[in-house]
Amino acid sequence: MGIVDYEILRLIWWLFLGVLLIGFAIMDGFDLGVAAQLPFVARTDTERRVAINTIGPVWDGNQVWFILGGGAIFAAWPTIYAAAFSGFYIALFLVLTALIIRPVGFEFRNKIADTRWRSFWDWALTIGGLVPSLVFGVAFGNLLQGVPFTIDGDMRIFYDGSGLFELLNPFGLLAGLVSLFMLVSHGSVYLAVKADGPVRDRAVLVQTVTAPLAVVLFILAGLWLAAGIPGYVIVGEVITNGPSNPLLKQVLVQDGAWMANYAAHPWMWAAPALGVLGPLLALALVRLDRPGLGFIASGSGIFGIISTAGLSMFPFLMPSSLAPQVSLTVWDASSSERTLFVMLICTLIFLPIVLAYTAYAFRVLRGRVTAAQIEHNPTGHY
């Protein structure tokens, strides 16, 4: 295009991909976290309705981040999209099933005033929050270990994995638990902001457990990654503005390679530091009855944890454990220069609209959800 260099466009879309994933984790993550802990924070129907009504009006707007993320991968990184849906097909099917169950639960649970009916949909909402929170982390854990795929000379992708249970390996499960506790803790902070009474009190107790667990498991995953999981490194000349052909490079698998970026750029240590300090600061702020600031701190922790994984892997997006030389990177898995430029213009127009609408919606819906409000409106939507 000549206006923006192809290399810069690729970097911009790598950053945008990170922004969308982090935006999804922060915005949709808190309602996934609330749903996942529903049986623990709410023991009566009124309490469950209090918890559900804190997220019921906003969950569908938060899903926009998930849709934008999927669309960005499809349009900006089509090879990643194809390889991911081959390698993580069953896992993504589980996620989509859970995400489909969730809106049905929101819409149906209050249609019939029957204990068994509502209990069924409450558990459906819990599963709809629990499964995506765990599986997204498992996917990141497997990306860091390499995915068993190859690419032939005609650019056809072949996945040679054994399915879901292969993804549920020890490190993948550890990453999944980091994600789960991170989002449950985030949901607890949100309940501390929006709920009242016993629901809020139990959410604070849940955060007391899940925030330190998320930090401890995050540190454990980092130590495991540094000492026990080989990373990937491009050898020879790196072509940053050439054609999107992952076959035109040489890649070696080396111990400790995932830590090389931190050695070369010490400022990157800010990401894991934020991943550790954010949840702990959120815990302290909630205890000091400053849950609004705690929510910001919790979101900062999510930013740090996800950024740590992205910075560790850069420039790799999807390493191949079978044929490292075909691993997909920022420099060889993107769409054309024209496509990235047109998408950039569209993003610069529409992303501020999404942000403005989100801010407006949360401003309109500000305030706590109380048991008195629920009891005053027993036939409310949620």
Provide the pLDDT confidence category of residue 123 given band limits of 50, 70 and 90.
very high
Q: How confident is the model at residue 380 (pLDDT cuts 50, 70, 90)?
A: low
- Asked whether residue 100 carries a pLDDT value surpassing 80, the answer given is yes
pLDDT at 379 over 70: no
228 touches 257 (CB < 8 A): no
pLDDT of residue 251: 94
Q: Exposed, middle or buried: residue 156 (CB in 10 Å: 0-12, 13-18, 19+)?
A: exposed
Which residue is associated with the tokens 């649970």? 109
Residue written as token pair 């610069």: 348
For residue 66 the two structure tokens come to: 């998930």
Q: Residue 361's pLDDT is what?
A: 87
pLDDT band at 61 (very low <50, low <70, confident <90, very high): confident
Q: What is the mean pLDDT of the chain?
A: 92
Nearest C-alpha neighbor of 53 from the set 106, 101, 129: 106
- Assess whether the previous peptide bond of 315 is cis (omega < 30° from 0): yes
Confidence (pLDDT) at 354: 86
Answer yes or no: is pLDDT of 381 > 70: no
For the entire predicted model, the pTM comes to 0.93
Give the distance from CA 367 to its chain's centroid.
26
CA-wise closest residue to 14 among 269, 264, 310? 310
116 to each of 71, 106, 119, 240, how far by Cα in Å? 38, 15, 5, 58
- Decide: 214 and 236 in contact? Cβ < 8 Å: no
Identity of the amino acid at 307: S
> Nearest-CA neighbor of 9 among 243, 340, 333?
340
8 A C-beta contact, residue 11 and residue 330? yes
What's the mean pLDDT in 100-114? 88
Looking at the predicted structure, is the pLDDT value of residue 1 above 60? no
**SS3 label, residue 359:** helix
Q: Where are the domains of the chain?
A: 22-229+338-376
Mean pLDDT in residue range 253-260:
93
Local confidence band at 372 (pLDDT 50, 70, 90 cut-offs): confident
Other Cβ atoms less than 10 A from the Cβ of 336: the count is 14
Alpha carbon 344 to its chain's center: 22
Instruction: Note the pLDDT tens digit of each residue in 131-164.
Output: 999 999 999 999 999 999 999 988 889 888 777 7
Question: pLDDT, tens digit, for every residue of 166-221?
Answer: 888 999 999 999 999 999 999 999 999 999 999 999 999 999 999 999 999 999 99
Could you give the percent of the chain with pLDDT greater than 90? 69
Res. 236 pLDDT band, cuts 50 70 90: confident
CA distance 328 to 79: 8
